[in-house]
Amino acid sequence: MLGETPSILGVIGVILVASGAYVLKSGAEGDMLEPLRRLWEERGVQIILVVILIYSVTANLDKIGVNMSSPILWPLTVYTLSSLFMLPIMAMNSGDWRNKIMADWKPLVFLGASGGAAVILQMTAIKLTLVSYVVSIKRLSIPLTVLLSYLYLGETDEFWYRIAGSVLMAAGALLIYL
């Protein structure tokens, strides 16, 4: 779509990141085909595949939008229009939404500010490098979540499979960096 071609190390890195995510999902049973079976059996997995397909297009559109404007103006425009579109839907389906927002405004402001900063940083990265690299590096939030869940929440279920998948993802990110 954009004519961007990753290096050989970049391609291997993207494959390692995807493989790490696959290992994370395979679980302690060691059944490496389980994630593939879930594609046919679980509605949620099928929906996320549609999301992945949509994101594969919108990530490229983000690059086009950022190149035509800026890493700040593009997400500001997209998220403002998305919010305006979603406002009537939220108002119809959320009952007493005004009071809910007013009651929880502090965490909502924090979430909005941190989410906005993350999007601006992502758009800056998209402007500076290949879209496929940015999308893969963004997936490093998964191993970070695994580590923080272990350290702060005491989550130990399937920890070593999660660490193995995380190491693959980190190795892939390193190859993308090189």
Q: Is residue 2 part of a domain?
A: no
Query: How many folded domains does the chain comprise?
Result: 1
CB crowding 72-89: b at 16 or more within 10 Å, else e: eebbbebeeeeeeeeeee
| 3-class secondary structure per residue, 95-153 | CCHHHHHHHCHHHHHHHHHHHHHHHHHHHHHHHHCCHHHHHHHHCCHHHHHHHHHHHHH
Q: pLDDT at position 2, please?
A: 59
Distance CA 147, CA 154 (A): 10
Q: What is the pLDDT of residues 136-151, one digit of tens each?
A: 777 777 778 888 888 8
Q: What is the pLDDT of residue 27?
A: 63
| 119 assigned to some structural domain | yes
Does the residue 170 lie in any domain?
Answer: yes
Two tokens, residue 137: 């590096």
- Tokens matching residue 173: 């990110």
Which position has the token pair 């190795």? 171
Task: Answer whether residue 115 is part of any domain.
Answer: yes
Domain that holds residue 65: 8-177
Domain membership of residue 133 (yes or no) is yes
Q: Give residue 114's pLDDT.
A: 92
62 part of a folded domain: yes
User: Distance from CA of residue 77 to its chain's centroid?
Assistant: 20
- Residue 26, classed as helix, strand or coil, is helix
The CA distance from 123 to 113, in Å, is: 15
pLDDT of the residue at 146: 81
Taking only the tens of pLDDT, the chain with its 178 residues reads: 556 677 787 778 778 777 777 776 776 566 667 766 767 777 877 787 788 788 878 888 888 999 999 999 999 999 999 989 998 998 888 878 888 888 888 999 999 999 999 999 999 998 888 887 787 777 777 778 888 888 888 887 777 777 777 787 777 777 766 6
| pLDDT on residue 7 | 74
pTM of the model: 0.65
What pLDDT does 143 receive? 78
Four-CA torsion 35, 136, 169, 26, nearest 10 degrees: -10
At 76 the pLDDT is 92
